[in-house]
Amino acid sequence: MRNIKSRFEEITKKYPDHSTFVCFGRAVKGQKFSPRFISQNFNELVDKDDYDRSEKKELLQHFLSLTNMPDGDRF
């Protein structure tokens, strides 16, 4: 399993016009990361201006569902 940060950095280079929020979603999709690992990396990698902080709990739940989704599905 690769780490989120290296996947995130590759994706931000490939899609420089996408927000850090979208790139994070692409980085975790289908990778089966743990909730704790997603939360820690979300705090480190996603720009706080890219999401409403009052919705953070729901957003983390969304990323948990993405990480368990097969990588071949469309994002």
Q: What residue spans define the domains of the chain?
A: 4-67
Mean pLDDT of 36-48: 96
Percent of the chain residues past pLDDT 90, beyond the cut: 87
Query: Could you tell me the pLDDT band of residue 71, with boundaries at 50, 70 and 90?
Result: low
Mean pLDDT of 20-46: 95
> pTM here?
0.87
Residue 58 has pLDDT above 90, yes or no: yes
Mean pLDDT of 5-10: 96
What are phi and psi for residue 2, nearest 5 degrees? -85, 160
CA pair distance 4, 54, nearest whole angstrom: 24
* Radius of gyration of the chain measured on its C-alpha atoms: 11
